[in-house]
Amino acid sequence: MSQTETPSMQKPAPRRTILFGLGLLAIVLALFAAGRAGYLPDAAEATGWLEAVSASPWGLVAVIAVFCVSAFIGVPQFALIAAAVAVFGPWYGGAYAWVANMISGAVTFWIGRIAGEEAFRRYAGKRVQQLSRVVGRNALAASAIVRNVPAGPFLIVNMAFGVSEAKFRDYWIGMGLGIIPKIALVAFAGKSIFAALQGNLLLALAAAAGAVAVYVAAFLYFRRRAAKAGQILPAEPAAPVDSPAQPGE
C-alpha cells in the first residue's frame, strides 16, 4: 500500500539548484542595497518617469513597470503610491497603484520562492521552519497585517513570504486587502491638500479626517491581529528533567 509522501521524504534538490537560487538572491539583494545607498534611481526619478507618460494611454503599464523596478531598488511604497496619485489623481492614481502593487507583489513573491525556497528548507533551523509553517497556515491574515504595521521593506517582506510555506493565493488576497488603507490614506490626504490649496477648507478637512480614520482603524485592527498571530507559535518544549533515582531502583 502506497503512503503519502511527506516533505521530509521528498528527494533533496540538486546542489546546483540551490546555488542558482542563492546567486539570484545575492543579485537581488545587491540591487536593493545599491538602491538604498543612493546609487540607483530614487522616488523623485520614479515620479519623473510617470509624469513623462501621464498623457499617454500607457499610464497603467508605466505605473506597473515603475512599481516592479522600484521594488528591487528600495523605493518606499508610500513614495510610489504618492507619485501615482500626484500624476494621475486620487482615483486613477489610487487604482493604478493598487494594480501595480498586486503585480509587483506577485513578482517579488515568486523571486523569493525561486531563489530561496530550497535553501531555506535545507538550511533553516527547526524553529524558523516552524514559524514558516505558521505563516503558511495564516498567510492571508499575515499578508494583510504586514501592510499596515512596521515590518520591513516591501521586497524583503514579499520574498520572505515566498520562501515560507505560504500559498500564493492566500498571500495575494491578503496583500490586496491590506494595501487598501495605505492607498486610501495617500490618495485622500493628497486630495485634501489640493483642496486646501484651492481654498476649500471644509473639503480639505473632511478628506483628511476620512483618510486618517480609515488608516487608523485598519492599523489598530491589524496590530491586534498581529498580536494574536504572535501567540500562535508554541513555545519551545522544555528539556525533560530526569527524576532522581529512588531507593531500590
Q: pLDDT digit string (tens) for 199-241?
A: 555 555 555 565 556 566 655 665 666 566 554 444 444 444 4
Ranges 58-72, 75-89, 198-212, 215-229: which has the least confidence: 198-212
pLDDT for 152 equals 74
Check if the beta carbon of residue 95 is closer than 8 Å to that of residue 83.
no
What secondary structure, in 3-state letters, does 204-229 show? HHHHHHHHHHHHHHHHHHHHHHHHHH
The yes-or-no verdict on residue 109 having pLDDT over 90 is yes
What is residue 121's predicted lDDT score, i.e. its pLDDT?
67
Q: Which residue, 83, 110, 227, 90, is CA-closest to 167?
A: 110
Q: Is the pTM of this model over 0.85?
A: no
Regarding predicted confidence, which is higher, 17 or 7? 17
Residue among 170, 199, 51, 18 at smallest CA distance from 109: 170
Q: Check whether 99 has a pLDDT greater than 70.
A: yes
pLDDT for 145-164, tens place per residue?
Answer: 888 776 678 888 888 888 88
Q: How far apart are CA 159 and CA 3, in angstroms?
A: 33
